[in-house]
Structure 1
Amino acid sequence: MNSFIIHGDICYSTDKNTLVTHEGGYLVCEHGFCKGVFDAIPDEYANLKIHDYSGMLVMPGMVDLHIHAPQYAYRGLGMDRELLDWLNTYAFPEESKYGDLSYADKAYTIFTDAIKKSATTRLVVFGTLHREATELLMDKLEQSGVVSFVGKVNMDRNAPDDLREASAKASLADTERFIKETQHKYNNTAPIITPRFTPSCSDELMQGLGELSKRYGVRVQSHLSENPGEVEWVRELCPWAENYGEAYNRFGLFGKPEKTVMAHCVYSDDNEIARMKENGVFIAHCPASNTNVASGIAPMRQYLDLDMNLGLGSDVAGGHSESLFTAMVDALQASRLYWRLVDQRQKPLNVTEVFYLATKGGGAFFGKVGSFEEGYECDAVILDDSLLPHPQKLSLQERLERAIYLGGDVKAMKAKVCRGKVIVRSEELGVRSEELGVRSFRKR
């Protein structure tokens, strides 16, 4: 069960500085876990089924640490506004529609279909404050085969009337019910505590969410130090907090006791960074969103050099695409602007580093995920990069770089594997496998 071999041109990270490539290699998956990548099939695996993707790129599935499912419906709109204005003009009016389950069903079907056909195999997702709609989203993500954490959003202040929960007590009761109903329901989908951000959650609500996280062992996601106006607003709302991060940390919502992912961290000060490092908080770098809503450029070189827990987020719909390939390119470009315009001591990121962020870096939030090293869960994406023709001879690393920049996930993806199960095949992407020369056979 979930045991096979993938043959192809294999790329994966072992650390932020190391990209391993095996041309014509064999990735062995046994019971959903990687046993390693080999130049020849070891004798003990000789009877496993082989999926032959000769000449194609084989890489770990992508990990999206921050995406808003209800915002997918209006991605690409309102990119001329800053964060707080954008929220009030686009995000909040759209999210209010999810009290209507028929609308939620239509919108979330579109979202989950797009995720299934993308290169993403793991994601951390914001829903809305509507519990029933969020559970519907979880049902659909479970059916898609990807692995996800999904949050029912909490908001009891500073929000439109139709998106402001009646009270902290009501919000907590609904969240506890959400956790109880979903925590053990799925194989691949789990709840995550989701205060939208400090401005939308009272201290009473934050205190209660921290207690729920601890009581049920549920992880946490939110936003941190994204925009100058937001940071100043938090300073006014929480004068007792030395920085934005402390507004979470005081309530047990900042990496301890449960794993936490914070999106953005564009304006984190030294004390906030030190606390994130101490608590093991994951940073979801969302470069497209930071650019689109004019928030700024996160200091990713500093975070990498400090060995912080780091990954990438598409942040749809602040980000305009669910593609982690797009996010990798955006991260490369943003880091060059940071180096050129902000601090020339902070050298730009390179392809090896952003590939690590999109796979093993973000994958660590899920455990041993995002690499083909022995013991890692087997998530894989196969690209037929012959569909991106070129006249020159390229190394495997150059082919990977080119596929990232040229949108290989959209133009050339042929299959996707999650936890050792094939969840997308070429037929579902509109291409017959016999047209690709892809075949499965047993080694004789």
Structure 2
Amino acid sequence: MSKLIFVGNFVSPVSLDDLKIANGYICVENGIVTNLGLKSDLENFMKNTDLRDFTVKRLTKDQLLMPGLIDCHVHAPQFPNIGLGLDRPLLEWLDTYTFPLEKQYSNEKFAAEIYDQVVKRLLKNGTTTACYFGSLDLNGTLELARKVVKYNQRAFVGKVSMNIPNDAGYYNNTDKEAAEVESFIQEIMALKNDLIEPIVTPRFAVSCDEKLLTKLAVLAEKYNCMIQSHISENLGEIEFVKQINPEALNYADVYDRSKILRKKVHLSDTETKMLAARGVSVAHCPASNTRLRSGLCPLRRLLDAGLTVGLGTDVSGGDSATILDAIRRAMDVSTHLEIKGHEGAAITWKEGLYLATLGGAKDHRIGNFDKGKEFDAILVDVYENSGPIDKYSYSIDRTDDEYIESLLQRFIYLGDDRNIIEVYVKGAERYPEQMYNGPLTSRTGRACRLVCAILNRFNIMKNDNFLCEVYEKMHLEKIKTKIKEFQVSVRSHHTLTMAAVGLGGECAGPHSQARSSGHLTRLESERDLRVVEARVSGAVCAQRADADADANAPGPTTRAPTLTT
């Protein structure tokens, strides 16, 4: 596995009220953080380190490295419904929108197509770890697991369990459900992939009776699995659970043997103390709580009670698939509670970042850059040209640390996936969309991304394995060979090599004078990529016009090869 040294700005949460912000270096070997230090220590570290096997990545002043984001609660099958039905209360929303969609995942082809998009989208958003709810269907949820493995995301994946009848007919009988959950656990464990774990997933007490919950608890204990579910999310839900579980002391009592409970809003003090005593972790999902009008979660009270809290997008009850949005919503909800008289309820942006990283990973092997932790990280370019954050000449920053903190604040409040230029899981870089979302941090990387994107756009090469190899190794020589192999016309070859040479690549063809052409000397944004694509498109049209003219001309002629669109 690769050995990396990152030199530049980095941030690493230490605790809820302590965030390390520094300019320095982080050393990663075989996916593990083995060393880190300040800028002042860098020269000595480099002098005493054998750098022959290392790749050194030097960040720009406006870039920073931070831990990967953790989505503690997301419904993978619900992505096609994102943004729909959010004017309905929870139980009505489930019956009208959610259950009919989730039933479709018995079609494995449909499941594979959707889950491929879901995992890539979350990685693109910087979500290196996700805790997924799948669907009721066993094989459909195994497709989700396969996509997680394909793209090397870190994940907990759960097959949803339900045995109480509903109008949509979306449930299993108890014995079948327990058997399928056990099969699912065994299938995931058979993958022998340390980035993915099965998680037992009773949907909630409205859809699972005591008999099924007991069977699931036994399975969780047998296979040492965690459990995830929902609790006290909606007042109507709470009342219904009381009706069908009259012997329970409260909602939490129904789940007393569970280890993880997701999405709670209306917890009593007694329930909060019970969850803390059982070591339960909580996923706070402010977007869905608000969108479905479930309530405002008293986050500060949960933290003060000693509960471990992370953040969740809860798609599609939540309307955004990025944890950055969950941080912002959590700050908003807690601030609203403080405005309403709950003194000290508001959380800060630093606390929000902690919840999105180390909070969601507490007692796990990720979440910050401490020595010995696995390296899950995102590289952020705050002022990336195609991104949403503008850079101004005025600044109130006085020190290097203040400048780094200002970068982080801007990203937390304003940033999105366009600012996330590299994603790492256990030390390995991930390319969610292979061609269009790769690194822009080196001239070779930019050139490779550009040429691969154009070749892919015009169907010159469509072999995914080849694309991955070229792109991940940034091997421009292979691109040059491929161009020759497909006998790209002189005009289009000139356009491609002009771009690559101008970017500092080594893909120079017969038109090396492009180096001084003054065109596209660097690729700074998606807009530049589109410009080059337009140039290639124009070349294609011109080729076709030439070819048509040749075809209509008298006498024999040799037609130049054309690009297929």
TM-score, normalised via structure 1 length = 0.92
CA distance in 2, matches of 1:155, 1:350: 38
What is residue 351 of structure 1 aligned with on the other side?
A: 349
CA 1:265/1:383 → structure 2, altered by over 3 Å: closer, same or farther? same
Tell me, yes or no, if the aligned pair for 1:92 and 1:160 is still in contact at 8 Å. no
Structure in which a larger fraction of residues adopt strand = 1
1:282-321 maps to which residues of 2 (within 5 A)? 282-321=281-320
Cα offset, 1:434, TM superposition: 3.8
Q: Take 1:438 and 1:276, find their aligned partners in 2: how far apart are those partners?
A: 50
Corresponding residue for residue 54 of structure 1: 60
Judge conservation of contact 1:121–1:147 (CA < 8 Å) in 2: yes
Q: Secondary structure at the match of 1:354?
A: helix
Match of 2:93 among 86, 91, 95: 86
CA distance in 1, matches of 2:425, 2:122: 13
SS in 2 for 1:389: coil
Task: Give 1:34's aligned residue.
Answer: 33
Of the three residues 165, 175, 180, the one matched with 1:169 is: 175
Letter of the aligned partner of 1:76 in structure 2? Answer: G
The structure 1 residue matched to 2:129, chosen from 103, 122, 125, is 122
Q: Secondary structure at the match of 2:66?
A: strand
Structure 2 unmatched runs, 5+:
398-402, 448-472, 474-565
Q: How many residues align?
A: 427
Match of 2:366 in 1: 369
Higher relative contact order, chain-length normalized (CA < 8 Å, sep 6+)? 1
**Cα distance in structure 2, aligned partners of 1:369 and 1:432:** 26
User: Are the counterparts in 2 of residues 53 and 438 from structure 1 also a CA contact under 8 Å?
Assistant: no
Q: Equivalents in 2 of 1:5, 1:160: separation in Å?
A: 56
Match of 2:322 in 1: 323
- In the aligned structure 2, how far is the partner of 1:264 from the partner of 1:340? 23
Q: 1:314-337 CA deviation, whole Å, 9 max, x = no partner? A: 000001111011111111111111
1:11 aligns to 2:17 (yes or no): no
- 1:37-436 matches, within 5 Å, as 37-39=36-38, 40-41=41-42, 42=45, 43-47=47-51, 48-55=54-61, 56-165=63-172, 167-187=173-193, 188-249=195-256, 252-253=257-258, 255=259, 260=260, 262-341=261-340, 343-364=341-362, 367-387=364-384, 388-391=389-392, 392-393=394-395, 394=397, 395-406=403-414, 408-424=415-431, 428-429=436-437, 432-434=440-442
- Distance in 1, matches of 2:237 and 2:443, equals 52
Greater Rg by CA: 2
Point out where structure 1 has 5 or more consecutive residues left out of the alignment.
Answer: none
Native 8 Å contact 1:118 1:323 kept in 2 = yes
Supply the RMSD in Å over aligned alpha carbons.
Answer: 2.0
8 A Cα contact 1:142 1:189, kept in partner: yes
TM-score, with length taken from structure 2: 0.73
Q: Report how far residue 83 of structure 1 moved.
A: 0.7
What CA distance in whole angstroms lies between the structure 2 residues aligned with 1:203 and 1:27?
Answer: 49
* Cα gap change, 1:427 to 1:170, in 2 (>3 Å): closer
C-alpha distance 436-299 of structure 1, shift in aligned 2 (>3 A): farther
8 Å Cα contact 1:119/1:409 also seen in 2: no
**AA of the residue aligned to 2:361:** G
Using the alignment, how far apart are the partners of 1:409 and 1:375 within structure 2? Answer: 29
8 Å contact kept, 2:357–2:367: yes
CA 364–2 in structure 1, closer or farther in 2 if over 3 Å, else same: farther
Check whether the contact 2:311–2:326 (CA below 8 A) recurs between aligned residues. Answer: yes
